[in-house]
Structure 1
Amino acid sequence: MDIKLKKYSHSIITKIVIFIIAIICLTGVMKVVVEVEIENDAQLSNALEDHYFQSFTYVQESAKLIRNLTSLIEEYKNEEHILSGGTIGEDEWRRVEENLFSDYQFRSRNYNHELSEEEIYETFKQEYADEITQAKDKLIKDDLKEYHLLLQNLEEYEVPLFYASDGKNVFTNTTLIEKMQFETYPAYMIFEDYKQEIYPKETKENEYLSRLTHHLDRLDPENTVVYVAFTEEFLDSKIKVWQENKAIGTKKLYKLVGFLIGFIFSFSYLVLVIGRKSFNDQELHLNAIDKLYNEIKIVICIFLIPIWLELVKEIYRNIDIFLLPITVPFAILGLVLVLSLVKHLKNKTLIKHTLIYSIIYKLTKFVGDVYSSGNVGVKTVLVVIGYPILVALTFFMFPVTIGLAAWFAYKRLSPSMQFRKG
């Protein structure tokens, strides 16, 4: 039985079958990743979540709302505040003035570096008064536009119900204004008087909850209140969708794990037997692909991933039809190149079978031969001209070049040094 296993373990048919299995598993992994990204919004973690209120999805439902409310209360407040320039920060305005001042230095005929800094700045403000006003007006317009965009976003919310106030400005989509009114709902978040009340209790165990609270931490807790509540109808529909996504995520996770295990085992087998005809075979057999320089293979492997991703984006609308026809050739080419690199690793030629190594080796051998037989003039020319050329050709690999050159020199000098010692 053991003899039969040894006989078939390295046969070409066995290798081809295992290679096909590896390709199927690798393609399966890539396909699952794409499906999770598209069908499940990359939420494979749904499969590991125990409850909707502990999920990323639940936090996501109110993350944008909390972020918008925080921006309105903390920064924009109201139109009067924006029009008065209250939203223009010191750092922001300093950058604007610095840009205008640089323009003044290069363009203005009135710029005089012999004046004091105060005088120069006063001259700048007088000459660039219109530009400064226009720059400030633009910042105010941009902030006013963002303010109304945030208000428009809030108008789209029917649920969750929210009420936010800093004591003067109020933003809400409901007639409810009291904390107790929001606490009657099956799920709510209360931020008031340095306290955070979150219900149901499972929400407190949500690892993503900080994505909400870190926005609210910037607000003044003495004057600010934020109430958010979820209706039962809203929660029922969202929980149903989450459960469906959880089922999809669980199925995808099992498939991903299965394909990964299959690929690991099949790839491990191929690494073990590749290049040899039996376990006792001492010679490593290379083919046409193996003659391609190793750094070229590595570059091709690196570029395969972004090219594949771009093609997947292009076929997004017809992903079910074209995903496999695109993915399989990439998987085959990538695996063939990786296995070829494995062969050279096993053959201890991973570095030696590179274009850079070959160039350095041939140049070093040529220089060594000339040094062994050439006169002093030829040697000088080689040092003065040849070395800079070598450095220029391999500047991006300079440390490697120096190391390899030193290694070759040592190898060639060792025999002669031993001879002299003898």
Structure 2
Amino acid sequence: MACKSTTLFFSFFFLSTLLYSQSDLESDTSECKGRWIYIRELPSRFNLDLLSNCSNYPIYTNFCPYLANHGLGHKTHKNSHSWYRTDPFMLELLFHRRILEYPCLSPNPNTSDAIFLPYYAGLDALRYLYGSDFNSSAEHGLELFRFLQQDSKHIWDRNDGLDHFLVMARPAWDFSQPLMNDPPIWGTSILELPEFYNVAALTLESRPWPWQEQAIPHPTSFHPSNLAKMESWIGRVRRARRSTLMVFAGGGGVSSAPNIRHSIRDECKNSSNSNSSSSSSSSNSSGLSKVCEIVDCSNGVCEHDPILYMKPMLQSTFCLQPPGDTPTRRSTFDGILAGCIPVFFEELSAKSQFGWHLPEEQYGEFSVFIPKEEVVSKGLRIVDVLLGIDKNEVRRMRERVIELMPRIMYRRHGSSLGLSAKKDAFDLAVEGSINRIKSRVTAGLSV
């Protein structure tokens, strides 16, 4: 693996240099006003070298197979054009590859609007989370900070790091262990370090209070390379026959402890009993052949196999998105790609997370909210709520979900110009980062 990986890394580096120079030469100055990004040159120990350790964490997983195609993973099958076995934790690699195609890259940090740090923070965290440096997790990020202070220090000092941003491909909770925890409980402390308080961090899930954290969509397995492939999929989604009312793809909820996942499993099990409830006759009159379906994704069996859950989602009207270990789920974005209307049970699952990609004020147009307390503690039936939604309203909601699809997917690197004209998850993340940085730099809000 080491030899093959080294070849991949050098190819990546060569392509990086080529794309960087071409982007700078070809960019239209007027179109890039206020959008210039400088990519900070970091030693490879902060990014590409970390990929060579892909098989070093057996407790976590061997993530070597998911490095293929610059973080997209291998294709789901030989003839696939848009579907890959993507691991969301490869977002740092995927994002790095995409930003090399950004049309407004600048070779001058002093005239740039934002500075991108190509640091694979989530991959570097593995040695603290699962490796030999577990007891040193408060040191995560300090080596990078020392480098930024020693190498071209004026780049950092210009705004005390306020114009810098990076991607961290894990929930922010994994990077926010209090510095005083000794021994450490879980996670690293990079987001608790005062040295990084000014840096904007794009994470898979953010905490509610820190200004610098912003959640961006989990990568799904769908990465089209041209407009025709994306429109072909959208056409399939529109034609899909929704014969199931609701689906839950996930694990958990099997213990007797009361929680939302347990309630979902119980309700789904009861709804399959033909003698169970009045909702059965209601569903039949609505043209449904099934009220509820569970796709058991326990033990990570669905993580890299979209075939297991995309078909049930295509056949369902609503996708249940209960919180698990943390509030957010990749399944939210898988469901949107299937045209399946998301049903949330707490606002931290999406509404207070992904504002750049799923506008907060529009949630009622494309999703259903059912407080989990009403289900778990008060016996509210999810089926009754969903069956009570007017058919015309359901159609409007599904159409809005389909309109959101380009915003939450990461198109393949090297995409055609037609598809590149539509803003995807990467484009909106970069745009949001620049706007946030400019507003804070202008206001002088450094910590």
Q: How high is the TM-score relative to the length of structure 1?
A: 0.22
Which one has more relative contact order, counting CA pairs under 8 Å at least 6 apart? 1
Instruction: Indicate the structure (1 or 2) with the bigger Cα radius of gyration.
Output: 1
Q: How high is the TM-score relative to the length of structure 2?
A: 0.21
**Higher strand proportion, which one?**
2
**Higher helix proportion, which one?**
1
